[in-house]
Amino acid sequence: MAAPTAARSEAPPASPFSLNEDQLAIRDTAREFAAERIAPHAVQWDQDKHFPVDVLREAGELGIGGVYIDERFGGSGLSRFDSALIFEALATGCPTIAAYISIHNMVAWMIDAYGDDEQRQRWLPSLCSMERLGSYCLTEPEAGSDAGALQTRAVRDGDHYIVNGVKQFISGAGSSGVYVVMVRTGQSGAKGISTLVIDGESEGISFGPDEHKMGWNAQPTRQVVFSDVRVPVADRLGEEGIGFKIAMAGLDGGRLSIGACSLGGAQTALDKSLGYVRERTAFGVHIGEFQALQFKLADMATELEAARMLLWRAASALDAKTPEATRLCAMAKRMATDNGFAVANEALQIHGGYGYLAEYGLEKIVRDLRVHQILEGTNEIMRLIISRGLLEQQS
């Protein structure tokens, strides 16, 4: 997935509104993979609740398992901007699969960003190849938006922690080999949270049943239960007490990725609609000749393009580590997931009764995109982050 070094150095820098040759190649590679290996099976995977681990490993062979991970440890060494292009492209095939790959990448990034070289060497190569899958464990049954209230506890016992607690809504749970887990090692509140990397084969880990969900059926979502799980202190990322910081840093990038997945799914819905209105006739003409539908299509395309530009702006800010990056990531996530769902829902309406049928794939996109407005921080929480950032800027 990484562009050749020589080509990368010779390519002109991208303007804020266009892509250079390397970025186009990266996007097109991901889109071709989505069209060939994901899209033809997406509806069936949804209906069968099938998690296509073999296809994920094929994605790993392309470098998609460690998009922005250090090349020394098997990653592709790309930017957050590049990753936004990749996840949008993958989501044109299936938002569910693209979203899981984005979460897997977030897990790998946390180890790359906060781990030492021994931890990176031990965990990252198999994550980047997707030989082992990763899950991010923050949410609990009684701690969702208020992540600082989490109760899963890790008690020090010599060179190990003893971990007890339950994590809720964990993507990939039961199939993953690596769990990055936020645990309480100290006082109540955010300052008492640390981050552990836990091997999925550790004794004492069990899983709840696969949740029955509205969408995202092609990836498992389960509770992860820790019962006296012994975790080496050496598997802690960073110092004790910085786990909340690690979790929030991961979510900045995660919000961009889930926003990109919304754009990809919605773009497919729009493309399906453009094809449909050219073919469907009513009252003796193709329905694409009706001005009311033309206006709808124009608005759908405009809303997607506006969200895409904001997402690119936020990704560039995160790459540059600018002070407003967190606020911009929240803005982009809110806009991309709201607009993406609205566009998909409008596409279903344009298709009428056919849009409601599973075989057309539209109702699946609508179901898949709805949860994007909730996860990685609800869009109400995004508004809090944005407004607090604005107020702090003025103080």
The amino acid at residue 67 is V
- pLDDT in the model for residue 16: 64
Give mean pLDDT in consecutive 10-residue pieces for the chain, a chain of 395 residues: 46 65 96 98 98 98 97 97 98 98 98 97 98 97 87 97 97 97 94 97 97 98 98 97 95 97 98 97 94 97 98 97 96 98 98 96 98 96 96 81
| Annotation marks residue 376 as catalytic | yes
The whole-model pTM stands at 0.94
**Distance of alpha carbon 76 from alpha carbon 59, whole angstroms:** 12
**Distance of alpha carbon 329 from alpha carbon 319, whole angstroms:** 11
- pLDDT in the model for residue 2: 56
156 forms beta bridges with: 161
- pLDDT in the model for residue 393: 81
**Distance of alpha carbon 240 from alpha carbon 262, whole angstroms:** 35
* Contact of 77 with 2, CB cutoff 8 Å: yes
**Distance of alpha carbon 374 from alpha carbon 142, whole angstroms:** 16
The per-residue pLDDT for range 279-335, each reduced to its tens digit, is 999 999 999 999 999 999 999 999 999 999 999 999 999 999 999 999 999 999 999
* Per-residue exposure over 262-296, b if at least 16 CB sit within 10 Å of its own CB, e if not: bbbbbbbbbebbeebbeeeeeeeeebbeeeebeeb
Residue listed under structure tokens 């790993």 = 60
- pLDDT in the model for residue 126: 98
- How far is residue 10 from each of residues 4, 65, 142, 285, measured CA to CA in Å? 10, 26, 52, 51
Among the options 88, 240, 303, 376, which is catalytic? 376
- pLDDT in the model for residue 15: 57
- pLDDT in the model for residue 11: 47
- Centre a 10 Å sphere on the Cβ of residue 390 and count the other Cβ atoms it contains: 11
Q: Residue 264's closest CA among 20, 42, 109? A: 42
